[in-house]
Structure 1
Amino acid sequence: MTLVARSRDRGVETLALDSPATRNALSAALVGELADALTDCGKDGDVRAVVLTHTGTTFCAGADLRDPPAPDALVALLRQIVELRKPVVARVTGHVRAGGLGLLAACDITAASRDATFAFTEVRIGVAPAVISLTVLPRADPRALARYYLTGERFTAAEAARAGLLTTYGDDVDEALAPVLDGLRRSAPQGLAETKALLTARVLEAFDRDAADLTALSARLFATPQAREGMTAFLERRDPVWAL
């Protein structure tokens, strides 16, 4: 079964996360298939830019707790998006949770519909947004992140834009993206590649400095009793024992 649908229009390759039954959760299989698709885009001289989007009502629900990717595989995927020599544009018409925000922050330009919602839910299952901090922390407002990282509460597209997680949002996300994609199509491939490298240098510094430590932190937290209780409670649709 294909988990990433592909299409192309005038040099823009669209990769759609296509596992709506799991709310496009990041399973080992989905992460691997998306990585392969991005590799293909990187090698294809006819691809000017990539749009990362989704089917169903959720862009990405975070890690698939039944079939999670290895932390280093998720790190590699996020770095691949950042390092790709072509702009990656996120198109969101649904909800984004946990690891999905790491994908969003890895993209160069991000657009969402006005009714999309966002949440860093890791704290609610006893872990931390460790690996995704590699892309989120360099690009978002620290004060906004302190609130949403620590509370796990949902926030709106308007708040995501104020925090630096979204480039734009609106009632019609495709209308908002039309001038962006037109601009990318008019730009030279060499110019896009080198300009993206300038923009992502700070993010890649975070990978070089922190990836190993954050990967180890993620693995350690997921092996704890609190995380097991949090994940079990989530799957059973009940409050964990610590909820007041």
Structure 2
Amino acid sequence: MTLVTRTRARAVETLTLDSPDNRNALSAALVGELADALTDAGKDTDVRAIVLTHTGNTFSAGADLRDPPPPQALTGLLRQIVELPKPVVARITGHVRAGGLGLLAACDIAAASTEATFAFTEVRIGVAPAVISLPLLPRTDPRALARYYLTGERFDAPAATTTGLLTTHGDDVDATLAPILDGLRRAAPDALAETKRLLTAKVLETFDRDAADLTALSARLFSSPQAREGMTAFLERRDPAWVV
């Protein structure tokens, strides 16, 4: 079964997360397929930019708790998006949770419909937004983000734009993206690559400095007793034991 579909129109490659039955959760298989698709698009000289989108009502629900990818695989995928020599544009028309926000933050431009919602749910299952912080923290307002990191609250597209998580939002995300994609099509490929390199330098410095430590932190937390209780509670649709 294909978990990431590929289409192309006027030099823009669209990669669609297509596992709606589990809300496009980041399984080992989906992460691997997406990495392969990004590699192919990055090497294709006919591709000017990449759009990352989804089927169903959820862009990504975060890590697949039944088949999670190794932390190193998610770290590698996020870095791959940041390092890709072509702009990657996120197109969101649904919900984004936990690890899915890492994918969103790794993209160069992110647009969402006003129906989209967002939440860093890690703290509610006993872990932390560790690996996804690599692209998130350099690109967002830390004071605005702190509330959502610490509480796991759901927030909307206007709030996501205010924090810097989104570039823009609108009722019709395709209309919102149309001038952006037109601008990318008008840009010279080598100039795009070098301009992206300028924009991502600080993000890659964060990867170089912190990736090993945050990957280890993620692995440690996911194997902790609190995480086991939190994930069991989530799958059983009940509150974990620490809720007061």
Q: Could you tell me the TM-score, scaled by structure 2's length?
A: 1.00
Residue 75 (str. 1) matches residue 60 (str. 2): no
- Counterparts of 1:138-153 in structure 2, within 5 Å, are 138-153=138-153
> Which position in structure 2 is the counterpart of 1:22?
22
> Which position in structure 1 is the counterpart of 2:172?
172
Residue 145 of structure 1 and its aligned partner are, at CA, apart by 1.4
CA distance in 2, matches of 1:167, 1:29: 29
CA distance in 2, matches of 1:54, 1:146: 27
CA distance in 2, matches of 1:220, 1:41: 34
CA distance in 1, matches of 2:221, 2:167: 32
Post-superposition Cα deviations, 1:186-233, rounded to whole Å, max 9, x if no partner, equal 000000000000000000000000000000000000111100000000
> Which position in structure 2 is the counterpart of 1:181?
181
Q: Which contiguous aligned blocks of 4+ residues in structure 1 show a shift greater than 2 angstroms?
A: none
Residue 144 of structure 1 and its aligned partner are, at CA, apart by 1.4
> Which position in structure 2 is the counterpart of 1:32?
32
CA distance in 1, matches of 2:235, 2:124: 13
> Which position in structure 2 is the counterpart of 1:198?
198
CA distance in 2, matches of 1:108, 1:223: 32
Residue 231 (str. 1) matches residue 234 (str. 2): no
CA distance in 2, matches of 1:42, 1:15: 12
CA distance in 2, matches of 1:63, 1:220: 15
Residue 215 (str. 1) matches residue 215 (str. 2): yes
Aligned CA-pair RMSD: 0.4
Residue 50 (str. 1) matches residue 42 (str. 2): no
- 1:138 is paired with a residue of what secondary structure? helix
> Which position in structure 2 is the counterpart of 1:3?
3
Structure 2 gap segments, 5+ residues each: none
- Counterparts of 1:78-117 in structure 2, within 5 Å, are 78-117=78-117
Structure 1 gap segments, 5+ residues each: none
| Letter in structure 1 aligned against 2:243 | A
| Letter in structure 2 aligned against 1:216 | A
CA distance in 2, matches of 1:146, 1:93: 24
**Percent sequence identity over matched residues?**
82
- 2:139 is paired with a residue of what secondary structure? coil
